[in-house]
Amino acid sequence: MLYVIISYNQRINKERKQFRVAINKDFYEGRNFIKYGLFFFVMGSLISMILGLTLPTNSVYIYQILVVLAFLINGFSTTSMLLVMTAAGILELVVPRFITFFGDVFPEISGPSWLLLIFISILADYYLTRNMKKHPLSPRIKSGKRGRNIATYLGRETVVFPLLALIPSGTFSSTLNFWPVFNIGNQKFSLILFPIFISTSVKVIKRAKERVIQDKLKNTELLLGLTFILIVLTKFMSKLF
């Protein structure tokens, strides 16, 4: 929420600096943060439970490290986050000996779990991008060639939502006696609320806003399809090997 407030203040200050008045004082970033966060919590958790997303506790710590890396790469965006997560997933699938070298942290993480997290993140990014059609973009004026001013329109949506996931029994129940434990087949699991960070942006220069958003949605649809195929393949490969 602090990141959203800072982004809002930066938008207002830049608009006042260039136009002497804020174009849009509405704190829609905060409203969308709460609204979309609740929506993604419900829908993401349903997908997680239906597909059986299982994460060891170490994944929670690793994910937080990945968030920091994504922030350092590109000021935190879903794209940079997905790149880091994909690299971690591929590293585990392709170079298992390298991962085993690091001890008990990486061997517990499964490729399908990372891919499912990526799928849910891309799906949330798609929904945020599609709904940016309803909100005005913040204008910026920059000097172009031959002394001409070029208008650039920027939009950003950031959401943090808890995702309900499964963890192997004993992770928390050994220290917290009240932590619920239930059986699925022959295995015992507990529940955990796993924080997911999503931030998407749109930049419009010399093009229609709707066209830019539509092009980004098409690219996101391709990523969704590719991720779904990879999930199916990794599930199939895990049964073979």
Would you write out the chain's pLDDT as a tens digit for each of its 241 residues? Answer: 676 777 777 777 777 776 666 666 767 778 888 888 899 999 989 988 888 777 766 666 666 676 666 666 555 555 555 555 565 555 555 544 444 444 444 444 466 777 788 888 888 889 988 888 887 777 777 776 766 777 788 888 888 888 888 877 655 555 556 566 666 667 777 787 878 888 888 888 888 888 988 998 998 898 888 888 887 887 776 665 5
Question: For position 41, what pLDDT does the model report?
Answer: 92
Tokens of 12: 């207002």
CA distance 15 to 17: 5
Is there a domain that residue 240 lies in? Answer: no
Question: Residue 17: which domain range?
Answer: 2-234
C-alpha to C-alpha distance for 158 and 71, rounded to whole angstroms = 13
| Per-residue pLDDT, 70 | 62
For the chain, what's the residue count?
A: 241
Residue 111 falls within a domain, yes or no?
yes
Structural domain includes residue 85: yes
Domain assignment present for 92: yes
Inside any domain, residue 163: yes
Query: How high is the pLDDT of residue 38?
Result: 92
Q: What is the pLDDT of residue 42?
A: 92
Strand-pair partners of 154 = 138, 203
Token match 């959203």: residue? 4
Spatial strand order in the sheet of 187-205: 138-143, 149-168, 187-205, 182-184
Which residues have a Cβ under 8 Å from the Cβ of 63 and sit 6 or more positions away?
117, 194, 195
Residues 202 and 155: beta-carbon distance below 8 Å:
yes
Domain tally for the chain? 1
What are the Cα distances from residue 71, in Å, to 3, 34, 154?
A: 12, 21, 19
Helices (H) and strands (E) in the chain, counts: 7, 4
**Are the beta carbons of 146 and 19 closer than 8 angstroms?**
no
Give, for 204, the enclosing helix (H) or strand (E).
strand 187-205
Determine, yes or no, domain membership for 241.
no
Does pTM top 0.85 for this prediction?
no
Expressed in angstroms, the distance from the first to the final Cα of the chain is 43
Residue 199: inside a domain, yes or no?
yes
- Rounded to the nearest 5°, which phi and psi values hold at 79? -60, -50
